[in-house]
């Protein structure tokens, strides 16, 4: 069900935001392997260039996804290299802690990067695909990194979860808006992923306990599942699917789910102790 590789002699470019490390790097590797000329973008310009060199991507450059003009400039650059074939909104931030514990700056940055950054990417990618269609190059794929937390209450990650719920809503709406344009819009909602961001969470905090109680995925698994939706009608995929079912059930009965949440956190704390992390 995955998208065919770029046909020999048919070049297509791809942009990945937050591509220097973690899931973004794995997505870049997946797209390079499929024959795209990949632009690795990140707020860390040096990291983006280093990743591009190591993966054999076209180039690495700085991109602040909260800047609409900067997104548009990257889209224009990608189209100069080859017709844009894919744009992946992967850049994201997360700060663990209850809402009152987070600073104003942390809350604002989370919303700006995770929600507005995705919206700006969706807009510039859509504009690029539509312009190319008028030039006889139809189609294009947009990938978005959402989260399992988009489906359910997540104490200790309330701001992050809210942004991912917003992103999932935007993706499903835009997918319908662009259906007749032949533009695919896809989101993956993974459980915890073994990344530096998760490692940075307080090992004694509730968010880390909740993640430890779930299924820890690899960046490569998430990347393969997201890019694997390209060229299909699939809009949303939750990893693993059974965790998505539990999360959606919790969202329907948030009061009752509090008891299950406490049990899950106890399990997570136990697993962290067994792993020697606390």
Q: Give the 3-state secondary structure of residue 237.
A: strand
Domain count within the chain: 1
Tokens of 142: 């947009």
CATH number at residue 255: 3.40.50.720
Distance, in Å, from the CA atom of 217 to the CA atom of 244, rounded to the nearest integer, reads 14
Q: In this structure, is residue 200 part of a structural domain?
A: yes
The sign one gets for the Cα dihedral 79, 82, 86, 91 is negative
In a domain, 4, yes or no: no
Domain with 190, as residue range(s), is 13-274
Tell me whether residue 207 is in a domain: yes
DSSP annotation of 201 reads S
Q: Is residue 218 part of a domain?
A: yes
In whole angstroms, how far apart are CA 247 and each of 10, 35, 89, 230?
42, 36, 23, 25
Which phi and psi (to 5°) does residue 273 adopt? Answer: -65, -40
Residue 198's pLDDT is 77
Catalytic residue from among 36, 160, 201, 230 = 160
Strands 84-89 and 140-145, by their bridges, are: parallel
Beta carbons of 52 and 58 less than 8 angstroms apart: yes
pLDDT tens string 107-158: 999 999 999 999 999 999 999 999 999 999 999 999 999 999 999 888 889 9
CA distance 100 to 94: 15
In the predicted model, is pLDDT for residue 26 greater than 60?
yes
pTM of the predicted structure, to 2 decimals:
0.89
**Tokens coding 255:** 């009061």
Distances in Å between the alpha carbon of 126 and those of 13, 74, 98, 143, 235?
Answer: 14, 13, 36, 12, 16
Active site residue 160: yes
pLDDT digits (tens, 9 = 90+) for 187-234: 999 998 888 887 787 777 777 777 777 778 999 999 999 999 999 999
Asked if the structure places residue 2 within a domain, the reply is no
C-alpha to C-alpha distance for 109 and 93, rounded to whole angstroms: 8
The per-residue pLDDT for 234 is: 97
56 domain residue, yes or no = yes
- Going from the C-alpha of 178 to that of each of 30, 46, 76, 168, 270, the distances in angstroms are 24, 35, 20, 15, 46
By mean pLDDT, which of 21-25, 111-115, 196-200, 242-246 is the weakest?
A: 242-246
Residue 7 covered by a domain: no
- The reply to whether 8 falls in a domain is no
Average pLDDT, the chain: 90
User: What is the pLDDT, as a whole number, of residue 7?
Assistant: 56
């Amino acid at each position: 069900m995955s998208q065919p590789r770029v046909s020999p002699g048919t070049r297509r470019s791809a942009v990945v935001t937050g591509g220097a490390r973690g899931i973004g790097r794995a997505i870049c590797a997946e797209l390079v392997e499929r024959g795209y000329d990949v632009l690795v973008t990140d707020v860390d310009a040096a990291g983006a260039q280093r990743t591009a060199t190591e993966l054999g991507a076209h180039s690495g450059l700085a991109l602040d996804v909260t800047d609409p003009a900067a997104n548009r400039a990257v889209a224009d650059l990608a189209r100069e290299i080859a017709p844009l074939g894919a744009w992946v909104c992967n850049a994201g931030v997360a700060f663990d802690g209850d809402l009152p514990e987070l600073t104003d700056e942390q809350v604002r940055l989370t919303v700006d990067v995770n929600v507005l950054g995705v919206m700006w990417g969706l807009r510039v990618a859509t504009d690029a695909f539509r312009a190319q269609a008028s030039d006889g190059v139809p189609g294009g794929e947009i990938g978005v990194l959402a989260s399992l937390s988009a489906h359910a209450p997540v104490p200790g990650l309330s701001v992050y979860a809210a942004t991912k719920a917003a992103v999932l809503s935007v993706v499903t709406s835009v997918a319908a808006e662009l259906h007749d344009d032949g533009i695919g819009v896809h989101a993956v909602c993974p459980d915890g992923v073994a990344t530096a961001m998760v490692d940075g969470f307080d090992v004694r905090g509730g968010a880390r306990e909740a993640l430890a109680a779930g299924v820890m995925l690899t960046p490569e698994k998430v990347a393969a599942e997201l890019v694997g939706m390209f060229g299909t009608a699939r809009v949303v995929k939750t990893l693993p699917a059974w965790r998505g079912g539990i999360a959606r059930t919790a969202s329907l009965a948030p009061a009752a789910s509090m008891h299950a949440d406490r049990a899950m956190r106890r399990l997570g704390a136990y697993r962290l102790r067994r792993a020697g992390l606390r």
